[in-house]
Structure 1
Amino acid sequence: MKSFDKLIVFFVVIMIVLTASVDHILLKDRGETSGYYLVEVNRVKHRLDAGEKVSADDFTAITGIYDIDADDEAAFDSKREYVICKSGDRLYRIEYDDKTENGSRRSFVAVNIAFIAVTVIGLAVLLYLRSKMIKPFNRISELPYELSKGNLTDPLKEDKSRYFGKFVWGLDMLREKLESSKQKEFEHAKAEKTMILSLSHDIKTPLSSIKLYSKALARGLYTDPQKLDEIYGSIGEKADEIERYLEEIIKHSSDDFISFEVENRDYYLSQVIDSVESFYQSKLSLNGTELTLENYTDCLIYGDPDRLTEVLQNIIENAIKYGDGKNISIVFSDEEDCRLVTVKNSGCELPKNELDHIFDSFWRGSNTNGKQGSGLGLYICRRLMNSMHGDIFADINDGYMFVTAVCRKS
């Protein structure tokens, strides 16, 4: 902000200096003589010799033409510059003003007005930029740093600027999203820890009983067959109890750990396909990969266009990562009340017997060696498509991978 204020001051100073310099040149030029009056004096004399009536108004440098008497000394005592010329038997005093004014005062005033106008307009533009762009941007410039430190509680002030209003609104939405995710993560971690502590405590009771029975049996404290059968049965019950607790722990561990917010509504499929195509046409052209888009008829789809875009992007990114980079195509088909969007890529090395697992969380196929990934991409795709009342499935045929998103028609 201070740097921009210095720029404004610098601009004003430069304009003042330029204006003063031009004024100095103009004033200096006005004080110089050009000798043009000699030309006009000769014209006057020529017209007088021709017997014409001459007026000073007909000339630029001539200010007066007077018929004088040679014996009149006062005629030669003039405060103006003049020359005496003779035409016929008479003498004439021709007064002149030969100061060069380059359009004179009007030019001087016009130049100054022009410089003032440029200064005012430039200053207005700079002040407008300061108010509408620099000041709002300066207010949010610290936000990324604050977000990186985890300071998510302070909301951003609303800004109605046409340039940064939507940007500020988006950043505040991002802040709220991060704050919400942080809170959910904290609550999830707290619940998980509480659950584990509770189940661990519950496991201790049957485990202690089993240990006591095992020690008693090891020492031969029970010899009665009926009592032994009772103890064996009790050990089995305690083991079953521990198994139930372990199943509960496994169940909680496998619960969904990612929350998905989907805003379903009606939208045209082309809205998503055009966005995906425009993005990947330029990206894939740099990689030398051909992207083919099959002709299709547009239709209304029910779901979240942003989430469907995310699904197709995840599928295409997998096609780029695990394909041979030769060709990726998007094809369309219809099935009952659904539109099927299939991403097909060549060079698939995934064994067909692993297809059942590719939508599981944290699962990575045997073709992922040396390639970074978390094993969550297709899992997220499945969750999103289910949230949009759709589905997703995959197939492999002749070295081609087919991943199809099933979108419900509106």
Structure 2
Amino acid sequence: MKRRLSILVAVYLVCLACVLALFHAPAHTAVDLASLNDAAMTAKDENWDAKRLAAELDHAYERMAAQKQSRNMELETGLIALLTVFCGALAAALVRIERRMIRPFRQMESFAQQVASGNLDVPLAIDKANSFGAFTESFDLMRTELARAREAEQRANASKKELIASLSHDIKTPMASIRATSELMAATARSDKQRSQAETIVAKADQVICLVDNLFDSTMRELQELAVHPQELSSRDIVAMLSKADYEKAVVFGDVPDCLIYADPNRLQQVFDNILANSYKYAETDIAVSASLEDDMLVVDINDHGAGVEANELPLLTNKFYRGKNAKEKKGFGLGLYNAASFMEGMEGGLECFNKPDGFTVRLMFTLV
């Protein structure tokens, strides 16, 4: 718009300069021969002398020049006024066209680019006084409906993926119990047939666990985090959840102070399942659980007596899909501690991993009510 107005001003100035040059150029005024002849005859009849004749001619010439100058000034003023009015009207028309037609279409162009890029949060400015007000309002309604539809689709997909991830992880715990029991049956079988049957159960349990791991992994790749809904829980619930997760009966409990904490029972159960499963897999020792109150937090330490983790790997243990050097021969996807840390953060707590002289410790911190 500024460019158009600049061009219009330039055209106006050029036209104005042409008008001024036309009316202020040196004029070669033609002498009215008829008037001079009449003056000469009058002078001859009345016996005027030459000086008086010259004065009369000069006076007549001045009157003619003044009349011409007056007519030129009137014509110049009229042309300038007409040119000014025309350019002003044209400028007003350009401003109106820019405001009422061109600007709304430019906004529509920007709006269409935002929608095409998937950004449905930027509304389209609506001027109901504009001729295109109803038109732009329809497009903004379309954006709103698209945003609602996408949000509903995302919620539905997230719910389905969350359900799949929760079920796949919950299936692992009973399958691990079935596998451990079947291994015990195979070890204590009284006949080869019983031993073979028990080993078949172990093999099938491993197959189901592998399938569940694959399902959980593919779901978690799409669902970056599962919803966490903290609520008030008693610290006694921690003991019950750990006992539920301890299918190898390797946990030795210490004292747990009575208190109320913020936690999601479903997600906390998954945290304990992951931590104990890692201890079973990598340490294969007894697991000591202790708890204490520190700075308005309940701190729970889960300590095994294995070889621990190399110091340079400790900060990486809660990264997604990270697996340490000691995990090369073990099955897994590097999601256990990643999920546990994410869940603890969602419950307004925290998770830390560190080595101790007698093994490896996972520390869980819970906010007190």
TM-score, length basis structure 1? 0.38
- Structure with the largest fraction of strand: 1
- Structure with the largest fraction of helix: 2
